[in-house]
Structure formats: C-alpha cells, structure tokens
C-alpha cells in the first residue's frame, strides 16, 4: 500500500517535471536511469560485473541512428532495430563471457567492448570520430511528431516505464529468484540442478537488450550517436551510477543516474569542470570503501531503524 502510493507520487512528479526542469536534461536522466537499471539487473541481481556495458548502449544508439538517417524509418522501427541488434550482440558476448567468472568476467566483457569500440571507430558506416550526427527524431507511428521536446519527453518517459517494469517483473519472477540464488551461492544452485550458465546468459541478454533500448532512445533525444557511447569510460560510468545509487535495489540505479548526471551538468559550467573525472574517481573510491549500500541502501536502513 505504502509502495503503491509512493509510485503514484513519483509518476505524478515525472509527469509535471518537464514544466519545472529542462526536458532535455530530464530525458538524459531517464535514458541513463534505464541504462543503469539494465546494468543493475546483471550486477545487483545476478552478481555479474560487466565492465563493457557501453557496447550495448552504443550499439543501440548507432544502429538506430544509422537506420533513421539512411532509411528514414519511423522512430519505433528505428528503436526496434537498435534493440534487436543489441540483443544479438548481447547473446554472442554473453555466451563468451559466462565461460569465466568473477574478475575474469569483468575483464572479458571489457576486452570485448574494446573490440566493438574499434569496430565502431573503423567501419565506414558510423562516421568515425564524428559519429552519426543529425539523426532525425521522426514521427512516432508516422503520426506524432517528436521534434518538440515536450512530446519527446513523454515518449521517453513511456519507454523508461516500460523498461523499468520489465526489469521489475524479471526480478520478481521465478527466473529472478533463481538469478538471486546463483548470486548468493552458485555451487548450491548447480547442485539443485539449475543450468547456471543458461540463467546467467539469459540475464545478460535481457540486460543488454534494455541497455540497447536506452541507447536507441538516447540517440533520438540527442540526435547523435558517438564514440563516447561505446567508450570504456561509459562502461565505468554506469557501474558508478549503480554503485552510488545502491546496487541490488530497484530504485538505486535511477537515483544514482540522476545524481551523476546532475553532478556532471552542474560541474560542467563551474570552476571544477576539469576535475569531473577526478571527482568521479573519488566518488568511486568513497563508495567502495565506505558507502557500499549506496544512497537507496542507506535510506532503507534509516527508514527501517525509524519504523522498527
């Protein structure tokens, strides 16, 4: 009951937010929030640290951008193309990555992502260092013009809610329970007869698909797909968002993404602009050493203490 009320309040806030805050900023937050939620599905609930998730964000962005620019598709088809491609690459990369565990899993995903980075850099389809610019937003279903930022915002919000609910359902499904069991005690899950690698792969593909959705949407919002989206730095950023917000919590990644994006926006114009990377490193170190539960985790602790 309490949660339902909270969700309604949050939805209400999201609906009126573009009248108070700059819509492009909000859309950026939503895209990264979805990206971080998708990543969190893997790290927080399956216990797999992927250090190459940028590749799925980037694939979504590039493929959507490419088909929109070249074939002039409608946005929903453009997004579909980006998402399908991300899922496919997620399947291939996932199959390779789940062969190793723990730290090796992180290194394999990072190396695979770097492989993709060079492919995106070198292939003539992606515009090299410039990336794909001037991607049209188009008309949704051929009817609704998305050029207007406010219209676009509600479209992005709908996509975010769809992605968020998908993740929510996945976590609370029997599949999600097995995923958590694997995270807690993999040998036990194996001894109970679960094909652990298949579950891991499935989680990886779902996560990659939704990260691709975030990337496709982001490409439409900014009308740009660039190498930043596939760079290892982006992979690190999404780890930080999840860690800061609270990994393994539903709302953590959303709050983490909002915090980091706000921090970047705020700092970009101030005297500390040159120190953004340094500050992100510092936040990383602090989170790991002293703030493991993240913002949402700590908040939950406080609430539990007060109510009990």
CA 15 to chain CA centroid, nearest Å: 21
For other proteins, which stretch binds (CB under 8 A), given 23-31, 150-158, 210-218, 269-277? Answer: 269-277
Give yes or no for a contact between 155 and 31, defined as CB atoms under 8 angstroms apart.
Answer: no
Residue 185, phi-psi category: left (phi > 0), alpha (psi -120 to 50), beta (remainder) = beta
Strand partners of residue 278 = none
User: Largest Cα–Cα distance in the chain?
Assistant: 61
Does residue number 49 form part of the binding site for other proteins (CB under 8 A)? yes
Whose Cβ is closer to other proteins: residue 10's or residue 103's? Answer: 103
Q: Contact letters (x/-) for other proteins, 101-140, by CB under 8 A? A: -xxx-xxx-xxx-xx--xx-xx------------------
Q: Which two tokens stand for residue 79?
A: 């997004």
Q: Which of residues 229-268 bind other proteins (CB under 8 A)?
A: 232, 236, 239, 243
Whose Cβ is closer to other proteins: residue 107's or residue 181's? Answer: 107
For other proteins, which stretch binds (CB under 8 A), given 14-22, 193-201, 208-216, 272-280? Answer: 272-280
How many amino acids of this chain bind other proteins (CB under 8 A)? 39
- What is the Cα–Cα distance from 290 to 304, expressed in whole angstroms? 20
Give yes or no for a contact between 153 and 177, defined as CB atoms under 8 angstroms apart.
Answer: no
- What is the Cα–Cα distance from 120 to 139, expressed in whole angstroms? 27
**Binding residue for other proteins, selected from 12, 142, 275, 301, defined by CB under 8 A:** 275
Q: Which residues bind other proteins (CB under 8 A)?
A: 49, 96, 99-100, 102-104, 106-108, 110-112, 114-115, 118-119, 121-122, 232, 236, 239, 243, 274-285, 287-289, 292
């Amino acid at each position: 009951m309490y949660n339902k009320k909270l969700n309604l309040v949050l939805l209400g806030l999201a609906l009126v937010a573009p009248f108070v805050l700059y819509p492009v900023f909000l859309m950026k937050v939503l895209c990264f929030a979805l990206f971080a939620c998708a990543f969190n599905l893997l790290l927080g609930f399956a216990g797999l640290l992927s250090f190459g998730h940028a590749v799925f964000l980037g694939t979504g962005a590039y493929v959507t951008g490419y088909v929109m620019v070249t074939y002039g598709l409608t946005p929903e088809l453009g997004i579909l193309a980006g998402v399908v491609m991300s899922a496919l690459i997620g399947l291939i990369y996932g199959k390779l990555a789940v062969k190793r565990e723990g730290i090796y899993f992180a290194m394999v995903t990072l190396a695979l992502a770097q492989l993709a980075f060079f492919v995106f850099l070198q292939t003539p389809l992606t515009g090299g260092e410039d990336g794909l610019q001037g991607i049209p937003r188009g008309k949704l279903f051929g009817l609704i013009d998305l050029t207007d930022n406010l219209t676009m915002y509600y479209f992005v919000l709908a996509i975010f809610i769809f992605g968020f609910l998908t993740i929510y359902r996945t976590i609370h499904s029997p599949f999600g329970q097995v995923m958590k069991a694997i995270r807690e005690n993999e040998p036990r899950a194996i001894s109970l007869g679960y094909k652990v690698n298949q579950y891991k792969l499935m989680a990886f593909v779902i996560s990659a698909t939704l990260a691709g959705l975030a990337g496709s949407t982001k490409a439409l919002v900014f009308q740009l797909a660039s190498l930043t989206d596939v760079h290892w730095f982006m992979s690190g950023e999404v780890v930080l968002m999840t860690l800061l917000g609270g990994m393994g919590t539903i709302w953590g990644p959303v709050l983490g993404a909002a915090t980091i994006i706000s921090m970047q926006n705020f700092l970009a114009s101030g005297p500390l602009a040159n120190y953004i990377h340094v500050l992100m490193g510092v936040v990383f170190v602090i989170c790991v050493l002293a703030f493991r539960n993240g913002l949402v985790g700590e908040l939950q602790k406080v609430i539990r203490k007060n109510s009990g």
